[in-house]
Structure 1
Amino acid sequence: ENAKTKHPQLLYESKLYKLLQGGSKHFVSDKTISVFYSLIHMSLVTDEPSLIMAAGVPNIKWFGVEGDYNVLVMDLLGPSLEDLFNFCSRKLSLKSVLMLADQMINRVEYFHSKSFLHRDLKPDNFLMGLGRRANQVYIIDFGLAKKYRDNTTHQHIPYRENKNLTGTARYASMNTHLGIEQSRRDDLESLGYILMYFLKGSLPWQGLKAGTKKQKYERISEKKVSTSIESLCRGYPSEFASYFHYCRSLRFDDKPDYGYLKRIFRDLFIREGFQFDYVFDWTILKYQQSQLTAPPTRGLGTPAAGTTAALPPGLTTMDRYAGEEEGGRPPMDSSRRRTSGALDNSGNLRAPMV
């Protein structure tokens, strides 16, 4: 971002990334996580160790001023979940959504454990890793994050009303639309909308037309309020409706039972007979494409979990601020840029454009 920008964000974000890195300095291998989930499915353990929860926060390499710009250098990551959703023709299978949900709830729980709310959860702000970490979900973009409690006393921020909408309207909680100060329950409700978006392909309040941004927010709010949880989740396992009912039952300063939310999805995962093998929908698509272009003599096999071969080709780096007609944080100025791992047509990582 331009060093002279009126409201600089990168310094704030760099400090928050460093705070979150307090529990994620060590690499947690896919094998470690896979073994851990196997133990969960055998009911030998019930809760994540803090190291597993903290995985998925990018490491900051450097923050400083270079010429006329504030610069934040962090781990190079892979495509966002929005990129991958589009690659999969804008529909994800129940298995993929449940595997993502488990990691995403962990990310939100860890974020909250550090006394911060994200306040702008959306598919663009969850990225997959690269290489050995290609199956790991990362949470990014903390420009709208807000501290909700004192680190020492755990005193919660006060309840307030008449607040402006903060975040992306498509995924904002109902209370956020109603002008109520956000708390932990709102991040979790936003995550629920993301999961239904992946399953359904769209949400009922998408594509609404209005003359102004304010009018559009109002139309989205009206549609969201008038759409019952049962209607939103109709045709999908009851666990998704249970998730929303739980989130909306929470009081402003309640600590959510993250373990309960993970358990209902894990129980569904086991009941469906799925294996936590990190074979996402895009893994299969990538493998199928590789077979179409592979020489006839090439032996068949499954794509290696946790390798860049498991990433889809043809995805380009997308502007994380694109499509913000439904809210979210706009770029602070035209100089602000984020680069992530783009893939060329053969599925190989190429250097980001600066």
Structure 2
Amino acid sequence: MGVGKRGNLVNIIDFGLVKKYRDKRTHPHIPWRENRNLTGTARYASINTHMGVEQSRRDDMESLGYVMLYFCRGSLPWKGLKATAAKQKYDSIVAKKMTTRTEIICRGLPNEFAIYLNYTRSLRFDDNPDYVYLRKIFRDLVCEGFQYDYVFDWTVQIPVQIPEECIGHCPLHEPFSDSRYIQ
């Protein structure tokens, strides 16, 4: 997360699974392929990724939806499923994703989350997601009675109680010896 004047930025640092969705020279969309291995984190993977289909922009958008839901809820219906082997766990996760209605996944959140997830799940492999529409859904939501104050959880100073005997003596607290706030 950004700090100070850049506290409103989220820095994404792991691009290990990134690939072009269009051929560099000829520009057509990458081809549909099946029997692909699951790549990425199963918790956030799209249903099609679980099913072994080549990933495309639709899968990125569905995954982003799961990440946003996780940020809002702190959990997802398929988090913590138990299995003895990775394949069994992945199968359980995709089964839960496929059988849990979007309205249940998004329960308690604004309807825009269900709209977003239904939209992304309806995209075909080579569809061009309407990014303007998707951003507008959430921008409109933010404008509904929410005052954007540019204060984020990670930029707020939280008072902590540090025992007096630790101040100046505990190596872990040295950076905070002049302050009782986590910076």
Q: TM-score scaled by structure 2?
A: 0.84
Aligned residue number for residue 159 of structure 2: 289
* Percentage of matched positions with identical amino acids: 64
Aligned residue number for residue 165 of structure 2: none
> 1:133 offset after TM fit, Å?
1.3
SS of residue in 2 equivalent to 1:170: coil
Q: 1:280 aligns with which of 142, 149, 152?
A: 152
Query: Which runs of no fewer than 5 residues in structure 1 stay unpaired?
Result: 1-127, 294-315, 317-343, 349-354
Query: Which runs of no fewer than 5 residues in structure 2 stay unpaired?
Result: 163-171
> 1:283 offset after TM fit, Å?
3.6
Q: What amino acid sits opposite 2:91 in the alignment?
A: E
CA distance in 2, matches of 1:152, 1:347: 50
CA distance in 2, matches of 1:226, 1:164: 22
SS of residue in 1 equivalent to 2:182: coil
Aligned residue number for residue 236 of structure 1: 109
> 1:150 offset after TM fit, Å?
2.0
The structure with the greater share of residues assigned to strand is 1
Q: 2:88 aligns with which of 198, 207, 215?
A: 215
Paired residue total: 168
Q: 1:269 aligns with which of 142, 159, 169?
A: 142
User: Is 1:194 aligned with 2:67?
Assistant: yes
CA distance in 2, matches of 1:256, 1:157: 15
> 1:145 offset after TM fit, Å?
1.2
> 1:188 offset after TM fit, Å?
0.8
- 1:186-211: CA deviation from partner (whole Å, max 9, x where unpaired): 11111100111111120010111111
Is the Cα–Cα contact under 8 Å of residues 21 and 56 in structure 2 kept in the other structure? Answer: yes
Aligned residue number for residue 167 of structure 2: none
Q: What amino acid sits opposite 2:149 in the alignment?
A: D
Which structure has more relative contact order (CA 8 Å, sep 6+)? It is: 1
CA distance in 2, matches of 1:154, 1:274: 41
CA distance in 1, matches of 2:71, 2:153: 11
Q: What amino acid sits opposite 2:153 in the alignment?
A: D
Radius of gyration: which is bigger? 2
Mark the CA change 1:275 to 1:151 in structure 2 (over 3 Å): closer, same or farther. farther
CA distance in 2, matches of 1:143, 1:201: 25
CA distance in 1, matches of 2:148, 2:108: 23
CA distance in 1, matches of 2:148, 2:74: 23
